[in-house]
Amino acid sequence: MEKDTVIERLEIIDDLREAQKLWEFYEEIFTPLNERTPINQMFQKRDFFDFLVNQKVRKFVVKDKENIIGIGFITDQLELDPWVSIPYFQKYYPDVPIFNIMVIAVRPNRRGGNIAINLLRAMMNEVPPDGCGIFFHSREANRLIPQFAKKAAAGCIEGRELDSEALSIFFWKNKNHF
């Protein structure tokens, strides 16, 4: 870890000023990502604030002195993420504890060092030895996320893409329609 940088593992964040700072950080990181992909990459503000006070969502906050430079959320409560198909995991992984890496974000000017790797490792340590971790990402805007995960856990994990979501767009060729 870089000098003067710490990763805090938190169960509950109920201080409204701290919650607002975390939301602003999250929004600052993910808004530009949403401008690069038509499929939303962010949770709604109300959900984000609910995650902060939910003990089942482990929060990791990376700070440099008093500045937030990274955040991560992980949970085994799959119902908290509307993108997760619980019936799929019940059918194909019935006895496997599934942990969803819901959020991982690091300030762009701090991504070159080991901060993001150490943050992801801290989050991955929440997954028990008989469990697995899942995450969603945009192939269009964040295609390197799977390689980043493999680098962070070099030699310790293996995985594959299970599915992908596509957004199609259509325009009328003429104004007469059908």
The residue whose two tokens read 């962010």 is 42
Domains of the chain and CATH, by start: 5-152 (3.40.630.30)
Instruction: Please compute the mean of the pLDDT values over residues 137-152 and round it to a whole number.
Output: 68
Span 11-54, pLDDT tens digits: 999 999 999 999 999 999 999 988 988 888 899 999 999 999 99
Residue that wins the pLDDT comparison between 122 and 137: 122
- Name the least confident of 92-96, 139-143, 157-161, 169-173: 139-143
Q: pLDDT confidence of 137, banded at 50, 70, 90?
A: confident
pLDDT value at 157 more than 90? no
pTM strictly above 0.85: yes
